Structure 1
Amino acid sequence: MPAELEPIVPPAVGGTVVPSAADAASDATERVGRGWTVRFGVAWLGFWMANLVPIQLLLPDQLARIDPAAKVRDFAVINGVSGAIALLALPICGALSDRSRSRFGRRRAWIAGGTVLFAAGLVLTGLQTHWGSLALAWSFSMLGLSAATAGLTAVVVDRVPGRQRGMISSAVYAPQALGVVLGIAVVAALGLTSLEGYVVIAAALLVLTVPFVRHYVEVPPAPGEVLRLRQVVGSLRIDVRAHPDFAWAFGGRLLVNLGNSLGTCYLLYFLTDALRVADPDGTLLALTVVYLVAALVTTYVAGVLSDRSGRRRIFVAVAGVLQALAGFLLAAFPGPGVAFVAAAMLGGGFGAYMSVDQALITQVLPDARSRAKDLGVMNIGTIVPPAVAPLLAGLLIDGAGHGYPALFATVGCTALLGAISTYKVRTVR
């Protein structure tokens, strides 16, 4: 038995050991240890930093220099194109990961290869001087992100027992805001150019992912899973009528992530153009720190409490409502002070939602033989919203002419609908 794993002792009922429903749905029978969890969380720190710092800071700054008059439109189009790429790539990469065979391992190969591809795409993005080529380069980056996350999300179901997944999900989402804060802080503190910022976060991505890839022990795939194009294409279809809980969980994740992304994607422009703060970059960093602290606290607390209680849905519902209230508050009373309150509510609600929702999702997967593919579909609800949110937000701000109040009201409505959708899952408490 690996040194960092310890056996699970299921609860005894009347002297008989009874496995939980969550454990029964998983092949994993041993807890992952602290070292595994830390390395997993550190890898996710790198991915969140590499994905979100460009969206929050580097891409907007780059476009403000390339095409200042059309920066909102350009940002929306670039993220719309890259979102479409991710929409296709995520489930395909997951299906390929399920059926891959290599001496390096099926999950490790996709994590390592996707990480290198993502890092190369980041540097390529930083070199662009026209918004059209910038869109192509950022879309190339999304291919790498899709490939890597296909393996990273599948390892949770491969290696983590059901009753530990709330805590492990915290290791996925707790680093999210931290990655943004660290990335923005480094770029701002060192006064980096856009290209230098991309290079730094690409290097950080590689360094932070290496420990997990190096130490991860693969779970042998089930016999008979071979890589054939017909089977890969056929596996992409999911019968939502046969698996309604999977559909409800996907809808909830998509909507909540979209609401959160709508609330954060144009923060820099909101501070600059609507609130007209004196130091928009510094205020953005301060708001992100508030978001981070709230997200870190609620991510860990909600994940642990959910594991101990065996309940998922009530945590998800409360967290979604908290995010909705943040959007409605900022829509009704826009101002610097309210922005900080809303940032705490949005971060706290999002942290709690995602840590518990990730655990819930692993319990509604349709088929153990296609874990990475099914999780790839679910990853659409995580990766695509940050990409398409600028497009929708741009339409609300410029196209509809209603400005930022309409944007933040949409944040509230979307988060609320997402919470309702996830709560409709019936096979998980």
Structure 2
Amino acid sequence: MPNNDPKARALADGLAAAEPLPGNETALEGDGLPLATAPGEPTTPMSRSYIFWLMLASFGASIAMMVPLSYGIAVRITELAPGHEEVLGYITGTAQAAYLVISPLVGIWSDRTRSRFGRRSPFIYLGLAIGVVGAVVIGLAPNLLIVGAGWVLGMSGWSIAGAALQTLQADKLPEKQRGKVAALTGLMTQVAPVLGIGIAYAVSSSTLLIFLVPGVIGALLLAIFPLIKPEGSSVSLARSGEMTVKSVVSSYGFNARKYPDFGWNWVGRFVFFVGLYFNTTFGTFFYSQRLDLPVREVAGIVATVGMIGVVAAAAGAIVGGFLSDKLQRRRLFVMLAALLFVGGAVAEATAWSLPQIIAGAVLMQLAIAVFATVDQAIIYAILPERDQAGRYMAVTQFAQKIPSAVAPLIAGVVITIGAVGAEKNYTLLYLVGAAFALIGGLIILLKVKSVR
């Protein structure tokens, strides 16, 4: 496990260590979590009630984001351009690319926000407002161009809110709770899409409600969190230098030589998520083809498979988070996740029956839960500069968002290789995804040194 002493960690990186000056700490606010004029390694544990409301907020961000991504947009494509499922990759990829451009700017803005409501809470509200507008636009869109524009709004909004929640965890979580809290919030992100698709299917007679109901649920849960568990004032926090054009440009990257573990984890995470998005973006169309069902009827199958997968996701989150905390090992669980993902991807690549599809989906759900939980804990441990947590969390998200933008575009080409008639080559797509996931796990296992 990483050394949590600030001096030791600074010396290990070849940096000058700096201790907070006596008297810099403010009184405890909000949930009893300390606010400091110079943010450092958090030490005060989160209370159970804080974790509970954080879990609900994470559930809200996930249900609002994932229902359109995994089901709703596919329905709209089927309505407006039947037979052109490759458009899904173009729409999701474009939205991800748009968010990539703005995310570091939002991170810097968040880091520099000084208000009595804190640094992160204002962005929860900003994100949910934009997300709801996007949901309405997609639901009412008369053509695919407007659907794409609506998803740029929706994707950006829910991502801003979700990033604010993750940065709050980076600000406040001590090392001994990182695995557990990442497990619990990660579990919510696994459960939310499954329940959300079930809800969307129940209101599928109305295209607008497919988008609006999950969006409203997500917005309400996000809005409640800062009200019940206030972040606390950030007015007394010191600013980290002036904001210049050079500092903005540099915020899109980081010094990999200065922070090698952060760099290698970024690369491993990037490669793993390429594999993940290869094997999840076209899930609705994959089920439709392999089970010979109309796309609109697939929601019931997706929800059923997902509900079974929730059990696997719960097991993965608990094993990955709680057990990695107890054993003080993270990288081993990342590699385990990669191997499980390979098993699930191979099973689905060769599946033409519902039982085998379920088996593959369960393995993949388990793998994703383990990886997401443990790698999140690794990120919190190796975060380079905590006074710029928003910026570095945005850079971390590049390792997920770039694949989510690029992989669907490439996947849209891969499924046409060797395709026969209207049947796309999902076998090749899922096998290539498995290879990427395995390589990503190996990179983190072999190259991230300061975390066991």
Same-fold call, TM cutoff 0.5: yes
Structure 1 distance, partners of 2:175, 2:353, is 43
Deviations 1:381-421 (A, max 9, x none): 33454454432221111256370110110121111011112
Structure 2 distance, partners of 1:74, 1:121, is 18
**2:157 is matched by which residue type in structure 1?**
G
Deviation at residue 204 of structure 1 after TM alignment: 0.6
The percent identity for this pair of structures is 27
Whether 1:426 and 2:444 are equivalent positions in the alignment is no
2:313–2:369 Cα contact (<8 Å) kept: yes
- Please list, as runs of the form range in 1=range in 2, the aligned pairs for 1:213-224 lying within 5 A after superposition: 213-214=226-227, 215-218=229-232, 220=234, 222-224=237-239
1:99–1:227 Cα contact (<8 Å) kept: no
Q: Which residue, out of 258, 262, 265, partners 1:242?
A: 258
**1:397 is matched by which residue type in structure 2?**
I
2:180–2:321 Cα contact (<8 Å) kept: yes
Deviations 1:264-319 (A, max 9, x none): 22222112223315853322211111222211121023201111111111111111
Aligned length: 411
The answer for the alignment partner of 1:18 in structure 2 is none
The answer for the alignment partner of 1:43 in structure 2 is 57
Whether 1:284 and 2:302 are equivalent positions in the alignment is yes
Q: Moved runs in structure 1, 4+ residues, more than 6 A? A: none
Structure 1 distance, partners of 2:256, 2:385, is 13
Whether 1:355 and 2:405 are equivalent positions in the alignment is no
Instruction: Quickly say closer, same or farther: Cα 1:390–1:335, change in 2 above 3 A.
Output: farther
Query: What secondary structure does 1:68 align onto?
Result: coil
**1:266 is matched by which residue type in structure 2?**
F
Query: What secondary structure does 2:45 align onto?
Result: strand
- Please list, as runs of the form range in 1=range in 2, the aligned pairs for 1:251-262 lying within 5 A after superposition: 251-262=267-278
Deviation at residue 130 of structure 1 after TM alignment: 0.9
Report the more deviating stretch, 360-369 or 325-334.
325-334
2:131–2:157 Cα contact (<8 Å) kept: yes
The answer for the alignment partner of 1:412 in structure 2 is 434
Q: Which residue, out of 345, 364, 370, partners 1:346?
A: 364
Structure 1 distance, partners of 2:139, 2:73, is 9
**2:431 is matched by which residue type in structure 1?**
A
1:91–1:376 Cα contact (<8 Å) kept: yes
* Unmatched runs of 5 consecutive residues or more in structure 1: 8-24
Deviation at residue 64 of structure 1 after TM alignment: 0.2
Report the more deviating stretch, 286-295 or 383-392.
383-392
Query: What secondary structure does 2:431 align onto?
Result: helix
Structure 2 distance, partners of 1:193, 1:259, is 33
TM-score (norm 1): 0.89
* Unmatched runs of 5 consecutive residues or more in structure 2: 1-27
**1:250 is matched by which residue type in structure 2?**
W
Q: Which residue, out of 109, 116, 119, partners 1:103?
A: 116
Structure 2 distance, partners of 1:107, 1:4, is 15
1:93–1:150 Cα contact (<8 Å) kept: no
Deviation at residue 193 of structure 1 after TM alignment: 2.0
Whether 1:329 and 2:361 are equivalent positions in the alignment is no
Q: Which residue, out of 374, 383, 389, partners 1:371?
A: 389
Query: What secondary structure does 1:106 align onto?
Result: coil
Structure 2 distance, partners of 1:292, 1:48, is 14
Structure 2 distance, partners of 1:154, 1:179, is 20
The structure in which a higher percent of residues are helix is 1
Structure 1 distance, partners of 2:45, 2:357, is 40
Deviations 1:35-69 (A, max 9, x none): 11111111111111111111111000111010103
2:317–2:369 Cα contact (<8 Å) kept: yes
